[in-house]
Amino acid sequence: MPRASQKRKSRDGCAPKSPAGDRGRAFRSRLLAWYRRSARRLPWRGSRDPWAVLVSEIMLQQTQVARVREYWPRFLARYSTVEDLAAAPADAVRESWDGLGYYARIRNLHAAARHVVDVLGGRMPASAGALRALPGVGRYTAGAVASIAYGERAAAIDTNAGRVIARVFGVRGRKGSARRERRLWALGEALVPCRGAGDWNQALMDLGATVCTARAPRCPACPVRRVCRAAGAGHRRLHPLARARATAVPSRRAGKEVPDEPARSAPISRSRPSPRPSP
């Protein structure tokens, strides 16, 4: 007779893996069930084209989702392939970005497109590790694109996803501290299922953006409240300690939270800066 752990592996495609443990498996199951019912309908979510996914992720840095809904299809109609953007003059590319702001993003995206065409023969990198070699692509963006476009088992932990994980697993410490970020990434990587990694990462993003928000979390409506340590301990555990002023490091990608359809928030890892920070 197969063991319980073997049964769990056959159901979700992953053997149990520490440090998430039983809480992690329950959390994953509840969150994915919620996402299947409640996922936001966003135009880029129907695409598995790595170029289209990369464009959406870059646009979502510091920009409200409602604005990206408008710009993403328009931009891809003009630059439907990486070759199209690579061949375009810089002034035309910048003009196509007008209204989105944070112009370092489009300069990096343009440079990335040229790198793909000139160095990689027009083939988009097919793994998170390879994607990080592109200008402006950091750990979060690489994980998001690799998991969504290729199904790679890669974590994508931005501020929204990190906040969810910290609350569910009771991760303490000052915001931005190296120790706290290492713990969040370790948990994030352990939680990613072997199958459906893209859906998992987007489920974390959606929960952090719409339910488990920074200032006014809607705990009664949260699908994972029964496995959440912060919710069980009361509101005082919902907020991490503020970053100490003496060691504060300004984040170029820290964005304000918008209650409805928020912008992507900053990736919690600053190991490699990139112009993008969860919705």
Q: Tens digits of per-residue pLDDT, 156-212?
A: 999 899 999 999 999 988 888 999 999 999 999 999 999 999 999 999 999 999 999
Q: If you average pLDDT over every residue of the chain, what do you get?
A: 83
Name which of 129-143, 215-229, 257-271 the model is least confident about.
257-271
- pLDDT value at residue 268: 57
Average of pLDDT values for 259-275?
46
Domain boundaries, the chain: 43-150
Bigger pLDDT: 257 vs 120: 120
- pLDDT value at residue 108: 97
Q: What pLDDT band is residue 240 in, cutting at 50, 70 and 90?
A: low
Bigger pLDDT: 13 vs 29: 29
Is the domain 43-150 a CATH 1.20.1090.10 member? no
Pair of tokens at residue 59 = 């646009």
Q: What whole-number distance in Å separates Cα of residue 267 and Cα of residue 156?
A: 8
Q: What pLDDT band is residue 214 in, cutting at 50, 70 and 90?
A: very high
Whether residue 251 contacts residue 274, with contact meaning beta carbons closer than 8 Å, is answered with no
- pLDDT value at residue 10: 40
- pLDDT value at residue 130: 98
Q: What pLDDT band is residue 107 in, cutting at 50, 70 and 90?
A: very high
Q: What whole-number distance in Å separates Cα of residue 200 and Cα of residue 203?
A: 5
Q: Please enumerate, as own/partner, the contacts of 87-96 that have beta carbons within 8 Å and a separation of 24 or more.
A: 87/117
Query: 196-232 burial by CB neighbour count: b if 16+ within 10 A, else e?
Result: bbbbbbbbbbbbbbbbbbbeebebeebbbbebbebbe
Residue 226 has pLDDT above 80, yes or no: yes
Phi, psi torsion values for 257, nearest 5 degrees: -90, 135
Q: What pLDDT band is residue 8 in, cutting at 50, 70 and 90?
A: very low
Share of the chain above pLDDT 70, in %: 77
Bigger pLDDT: 278 vs 107: 107
Residue 237 has pLDDT above 70, yes or no: no
**Residues 57, 152, 181, 257: which is the catalytic one?**
57
Average of pLDDT values for 105-111?
97
- pLDDT value at residue 238: 57
- The answer to whether residue 57 is catalytic is yes
Residue 27 CA: distances (Å) to CA of 2, 122, 167: 24, 39, 12
- pLDDT value at residue 40: 94
- pLDDT value at residue 62: 85
- pLDDT value at residue 266: 56
Q: What is the pTM of this model?
A: 0.81
Half-sphere exposure of 7 (CA within 13 A, CB side): 4
Residue 158 pairs with which residues in a beta bridge? 267
Average of pLDDT values for 125-149?
97
Of the ranges 7-16, 64-73, 264-273, the best mean pLDDT one? 64-73
Which run of H or of E encompasses 202?
helix 197-210
Q: Which residue, among 95, 78, 71, 268, has the nearest Cα to 183 in the 3D structure? A: 268
- pLDDT value at residue 250: 35
